[in-house]
Amino acid sequence: MGTLSATGQHKVQKGFAPLLQGFQFVPFNDLRSLERAMDETVCAVMMEPIQGEGGVVCPDGGILPGQGPLP
């Protein structure tokens, strides 16, 4: 249920209600949005650093700590 609740894809969640509450979503590759979402109510961050449903989609270099330039 945690993974289903954490996905932003409603087509995958269909038929599994009620889902867990409290998940927030920020746009992929948008570090500023992630920073703005952080406050004292956040207990964890789940991240999919390389997305694969629509091909291989990698974030810009420097989004993840220690990440170098991407090919």
Give the residue with greater pLDDT, 57 vs 69. Answer: 57
Tell which residue, 45, 67, 49, 68, has the closest CA to residue 58. Answer: 49
Q: How far apart are CA 33 and CA 26, in angstroms?
A: 6
- Alpha carbon of 7 to those of 15, 21, 33, 70: distances in Å? 14, 12, 17, 25
Model pLDDT for residues 9-68, shown as the tens digit of each residue? 899 999 999 999 999 999 988 888 888 999 999 999 888 888 888 789 888 877 776 555
7 pLDDT higher than 70: yes
The pLDDT, as a whole number, for residue 67 is 52
- Alpha carbon of 33 to those of 18, 27, 71: distances in Å? 27, 7, 25
The pLDDT, as a whole number, for residue 66 is 55
Note if the pTM is more than 0.75.
Answer: no
